[in-house]
Amino acid sequence: MLALMSDPDAAATSVQAGAAFPFGSGDHVALLGRHYAAHASGHPDATTASDVLALTLVRRHGTGAYWTVGPRLHLVSPRGGAPKISASEARSRDKRRSARRSKAGGRSRPKRPGTRPR
């Protein structure tokens, strides 16, 4: 299943796939995976995503009723979305930050005029 959602301020997608593996009379094991993603219009950094994975055992009782049991894992990206950078880009960014700190005397920001040292 694929769902696309949109409004003037955002767009979102949802992709779901699953399979059931029958065994016995009316019993089965089901596996379901789903991925959600949302992107804000006009704000390229405002994204979020989540993934769901579920494994379910479904058993049929002699009276015709069903019962289910199984784990479900739901992963949500951090606020603003997970950073999408490669390892080499991350190293370059860290080197630039380190160089700025060393130029500022070990401080992350330059000292403001008129402030006393701590």
The 10s digit of each residue's pLDDT in 62-72 is 888 889 999 99
Residue 117 counted as domain residue? no
Instruction: For the full predicted model, state whether its pTM sits above 0.75.
Output: no
Give the domain range for residue 33.
2-77
Q: Where are the beta strands (DSSP E) in 1-118?
A: 2-7, 10-23, 27-40, 47-60, 66-69, 72-76
Which value, in Å, is the radius of gyration of the alpha carbons in the chain? Answer: 25
In this structure, the answer to whether residues 72 and 88 fall within a common structural domain is: no
d(CA 36, CA 30): 20
d(CA 68, CA 78): 31
pLDDT(91) > 80: no
In this structure, the answer to whether residues 31 and 63 fall within a common structural domain is: yes
In this structure, the answer to whether residues 54 and 87 fall within a common structural domain is: no
d(CA 77, CA 10): 17
